[in-house]
Structure 1
Amino acid sequence: MMQPTSADSKPGVSNLSRRPRILIVDDDPLIQDSLVRLIKAQDYEAVAAGNGRQALDAVDRMQFDVILLDLNMPGIGGVDVLAELSKRGVATPVIVVSGDNAIDSAVIALRQGAADFIRKPYKPEELLKRIGNTISNQQLERENSLIQQRLQQSEKWHRFLVNTSPDFIYTLDGEGRFTFVNDRVESLLGFTRSELVGCHFSEIIFEEDLFRAEHVFNERRADARASRNVELRLKCKDGQQRPRVMNGRYRTVEVTATGMYEFPETRFENRFVGTYGVVKDISDRKQAEETVHYQTFHDLLTGLPNRAKFRDHLGRALVYGKRKQQALSVMILDLDNFRVVNDSLGHGVGDELLIHIATRLRQCLADDDILARLGGDEFAVLLPDTTSRLEATVVGHKLIEALNSPLRIKGHDLYVTASIGASFAPEDGAVADTLIRQTEIAMYQAKSQGGCRIQHWQPAMQEAFSGRIQMESDLRRALANDEFVLFYQPQVDTMTGAIKGFEALIRWWHPERGIVLPDAFIPLAEETGVVVPMGEWILRQAAAQQAFWRKSGLPPVRISVNISPRQLETADFVGSVLRALEANQLEPGALELEITENVLMRDVESNAAKLTQLAEAGVCLAVDDFGTGYSSLKYLSRFPIHTLKIDRAFVKDSQLDGMSIANAIVGMARNLNLNVIAEGVESAAQLERLRILQCSEVQGYLFGMPMPAQDATRLLQEQAGVSEDVAKAG
């Protein structure tokens, strides 16, 4: 009875990825059992059949790699099985294992198609050797048959398939000389087919790749171990430039090759006849990969290493320095006033400025020093072999001085300064990320001290920086937790003393610090971008307060709201103002926007367009701190201005210069039919001088400090004679 010893599979093409499967046909159960154990010990699959009928049934159901067949069996004998297999076209090799000593039996078996004959008794190792050889021969015959089928195709069909291939296809003889190349070789390397046939393959291999090519181009293996997708470089003819080549001397390719063999009549040995290979041009892919790699580790604007590449350089330098006991310095440089240039003259000018700055910085450094752009206007420098902090300080001052002279960009003479932080390794640390973080903290410290200086890392800076980080976190939380509140400072008619409006000023009720004035958090809010949602909140809150006063029957007064630079830059700035008014059913003139001269001048075209759109809707515009910035009528005439606010510096200055400037501003405003508000009025003498100048409105501590909404409501109530219930409700 047939005894399958492994999972059955359906008949069909032999699966080369599975273990070889052997069919054992013998009517002796003891021989069957011993053969099964012997076969399985070699990691083969074994299936046993007790007679010829079972053997033929097994062949119908599954694919075998070798059949071990006994000739002398009852019923359908071994010779009959051979005849039936031949009749059915079964090509599985058969090894006859028989105890019949007659030579005729062996001859008959071989004539019937047996692949081999071995007599009982036999040595197990001899049988295994025969099985192994048979399996190998079968595989080689299968591969050779496939090659022969391809070679036997019609010449026309062969030329079409091979010569129109996008890949370079070749065959080599046993000595490594080309016996065939397709037409693709000419467009790839510049050689004609006749120039290469007969040449050794090494003549087209790039010199540095010869050793690897010896094991690839003339591959002798024909199994799964054969070379696949091995990268090499092939020489172009005479080094000439081929189409789309990265380097005119060579093309980068991937080679897949397999050995070709023919089988002698003895069937026990095979002979290597050459190599068949396919060469795929990957030059464009390699160029793309190199481009991606470059872009991953370099700043595309300046061509300098980026943050990731700088971190890699620093890590390697730290390892080398530790081994050689050498110190190194890290510096991070941030431009102090780059954003003003970028915002006022546009990103195109800003980008060109960065390129010129990178060139100047590079000229200050030695060849071994590393300069990188970390992002924005932030650069990093690695000095790989420094002996002291003083050496880094000297280099830092050279970098600062290199920026002292103006840079001529698109008709503008631009002046920039830099703040530099520095760290010294291994004293300040021996981990790349730690050094970079500490150096950035030192740079922020230099910037906080006024910029245009170098500051070395000190451990005490960590606490200050942590405080800055905590402040930023608190700011973001404050928006969500409604910790901000608006105070209001009255703006008074100079002649009558009547309240004409209020300036809305933000305060922060910090849960731990108490009241925090804007000077302590607005710069950080501006830097981090928190000022944008904060500014939108101020607009909504001021509009809501105005609506409350209107509904309470109080006399109409304007509320002035300060607009930050980043808020004005947003694409939705106009929409945010109009939405705040519409949500509270207010006419546009209920709010006045205060913007400083310098902010207006940052991007004249864009700012003028936005503010004109608001003015056409009815929103008023006040220029804050007038007289401290451009004070250019040419530029200011482009904006729909309603009010000029005289800076407190001119109000406090009782000398002739200060009064002259204030007088000029008032006169100019009168001629342009603009309202004028003087800020910082703290004494009766200052008020009297402004009255003499006919300044229309004043604002300052003389008339009241910034106050909560309830107190502002009370002032309006007193002015209008409205019940105090209104004040309490405010």
Structure 2
Amino acid sequence: MTITKHSTSRLQGSNAHQTSQIKERAKRNKERNSARILIVDDEPRASESLRAILQFSGYTIITANGGREAIDALKTDTFDLALLDLNMPDIDGHQVMEFIKSDNHNTSIIVISGESGFDHVASALRKGAKDFICKPYMADELLLSVSNALERQHLTNENGRIQEKLRRSETLHRFLINNSPDLIYMLDQEGRFTFVNNQFEKNLGFDAGELLKQPYTCLIPPDDLEKAKYIFNERRTGDRTTRNTELRLKSKDFDSPNYVDVRSVAIELNSMGIYSTRLNSKKKFVGTYGVARDITERKQSEELIKYQLYHDLLTSLPNRTLFRDRLNIALAQAKRNKKMLAVLYLDMDSFKIINDTLGHHAGDELLQSIAARLKGCLREADTLARVGGDEFNLLLPDVSDRNDITTTANKILKELEKPFHPSLQEVFVTFSIGIAVYPNDGDSKEMLVKNADMAMYQVKNSGKNGFAFFADHMKEQFHKRLDIENGLRRALLNNELRLHYQPKVELKSREIVGAEALVRWQHPDLGLLPPSEFIPIAEESGLIIQVGEWVLRQACKDAFNWMELHTHPVSLSVNLSTQQLESENFTATVLGITSEFNLPRQLLELEITESSIVQNMEKAVENLGILHRYGIRVAVDDFGTGYSSLGYLQSLPLHTLKIDRSFIHAIKSTQDEHSIIEAVIAMAKGLGLDIIAEGVENEDQHHFLHNAGCLMAQGYLYSHPLPEADFRQLFSETI
């Protein structure tokens, strides 16, 4: 079969539409920065004819006179298309095509030749030619063939770029998926794994081969199967999908008898159903896609915080809050079942002497040992709580009679007779125990604890080291305390309370930089009473909130007056009680009083003891955090007494630590070594806190603290607490 120029007759009759297509394609080629075309022919006239036709269409033309020039040009330059003659001396068109193919050139080929035999055409097409045009040719035929070849080349290149992008995208996606900190999975319609990322092996110990084709239930603990059924194997889409739902997954060693503490992993799960997207057909469920975040550490932290809120951090015993909760529950059960229960108030005798003699570290060790021994004397249903420095409360639910309670009390006292060895020192301790029994001694938690406390004080007054049940004759002492309570109520109404101010001085200059407000009671019969005479009763009766509010209001009023008299401002410290801190209107009261007297809030510092903070950490964080945002400062009073954990220092918005006077009293000369004081000062500086020492009574203590880096102090060396007028005069004389 012979192909001649007559085979192009179909092109000679091309219509206007075809011509338009050629022009449009030529335009697209031009817009692609003009395609580069290599014309290869050993006849100059033929090359020039092709150049003239193609340059008119905007192409960039390079000519090669023969095959050797063509190969040289291809080695040094790139071309989109080669128009190639076959019959050339030296190196013919077939050899040029073989070079293009072997050298992986991205160049399309159109053969333009007078050799129109079938063998020539077939050979050219086999070697990669996109078209074969016979000489002589029509211009339209040439342009259309060139346009088609370039269009195909463009589509091929574009497809290659798209494939490369897809490959890179898939590689990146797989990299991100496998290096994600989350567990990512896919399930099929039957709930079997079709994909898991590498995090499954890191978090759970399963590699992909162990999970693929396995049902998702292989990872779900038995207790969570029902819950997982509707969220792990999610079928819903849109807003109804599973979002941030907590679940547990088995680790690889879950069913092993020799498991470690953590056999399951807590996760937070997001999952959604996947459906087919075929056109003109109903969507079909094909599986589930899920992302799970390991929240084990967060859950452990939450459990730790919850534990700390309801437990004493030194002994790990329940604290006052948890004890009162359990007492409430036990009372409800006792009332329902008509049973007895007992509350015991345990207070160590002479703990302060031990603490001062052996040091606070030994005191902490002693309290931990005592807690351990006490727990060994109790039933599983009993509750032992630490409610103060050396005070414990014990709940004995469901007791038959007083003999059961007596047996337990004697057992405790006998167990505590054995020596303790804190810091390798032999120590003997005794306890005073007061007992109140429901229903005879009270039907509320407050009354039972109060009566047990009253009975405990009776033991202390009778020689200590024993126990006593609450009895009616103890009410006489109670009535005496009630007289103080009632008198205190009248004192609030009759304005009998007074404030004295103890100066705070800068150690370097001895200038007064602040004052601590201290309350006194000008009793109409007993004279001026110190706070130790009435503050404990105020706390027991709840009057401490009213007393505290009066102190804060009067102190802010006095501080404002000092501002009016002097341009030099003085900071004001006011002590808070636990009940104030826990009251519902505490923050509103403080902010209201400072606004009432227009006192700059940065001048006010609220002092709270360590025990108050630890007893109700959650409320302390909440209320003190609010006041901190308004600029009010917070100080820890009596720092270092009774609590060995310092975790609250980072939990609360604190500004100042007050070194307890017991540490200061131990300073006998400037040459003494007091590593605890130096450590507290260094720690405060490290945390960005101010530090002040209280109870400074002599020059040696003053100089020691100044040399150790303490900036402020207060104590009898500088001034006793003074009535407001005397303090105002002293302040005026020192500025």
What TM-score range do you get, normalising by the shorter chain? Answer: 0.3 to 0.5
Q: Which has the higher contact order (CA 8 A, sep 6+)?
A: 2
**TM-score, normalisation: structure 2:** 0.45
